[in-house]
Amino acid sequence: MLRNNFVYHNTSMGIAIGGYDTERGSTENCTIVNNTLFNNDYRKEGNGELLVQFDTRNNVIKNNVFYANSNKALIVNPYTENTGNVVDYNLYFAPGNAANSTWQWKTVTYNGFAAYQAGTGNDAHGLFIDPKLVSTSAFDLHLQANSPAINRGQTMSEAGDKDIDCQPRVQGAAIDIGADEVR
């Protein structure tokens, strides 16, 4: 399980799961929940914020903030050997607008959030909007009090009882998307 982390300014990607062939890795039955990813893949190698590689099965990816850099790559999945992965309730943002964002799922490239949702069935409850982080220049990835991520996550036991700052995870009608739970 990977939860309640700030993942930012990494050279090649934010989070990667899976391997790269039948003998080198897989990820199965893992949960990636309530993380905030920002400006990863800063070398712009095309790996994005989340790299889903070969042989990923039955993983849950929910309640995360994915904030791409000017490369605009959010999820990159260059393999078709993936089954049962659930991707929903995430908040995405990239410079420009939703139509200019880039996605790849099972080798198919989608331009724009709506195309990604329609083509993959992922993120039916997802959002594409500025999450209003406290400071992207100082890498303060906490949510501002007016963030659209507040109370927009799916309440689930995997999110845990505490956020990244050890504050209670549930503070309102629902949990917040990302690593931070606003009081």
What tens digit of pLDDT does each residue of 27-73 get? Answer: 999 999 999 999 999 999 999 999 999 999 999 999 999 999 999 99
Q: What is the pLDDT of residue 21?
A: 83
Rounded Cα distance, 48 and 68, in Å: 7
Name the nearest CA neighbour of 55 among 117, 110, 106, 108: 106
Q: What is the pLDDT of residue 18?
A: 96
Q: Looking up tokens 């990816």, which residue turns up?
A: 61
Q: How far is CA 121 from CA 8, 80, 99, 115, in A?
A: 27, 15, 17, 10
Q: What is the pLDDT of residue 183?
A: 77
Q: What is the pLDDT of residue 170?
A: 85
**The two structure tokens encoding residue 36:** 């905030």
Mean pLDDT of each 10-residue bin along the chain, 183 residues long: 97 95 91 98 95 96 97 95 96 92 96 97 98 97 98 96 95 90 89
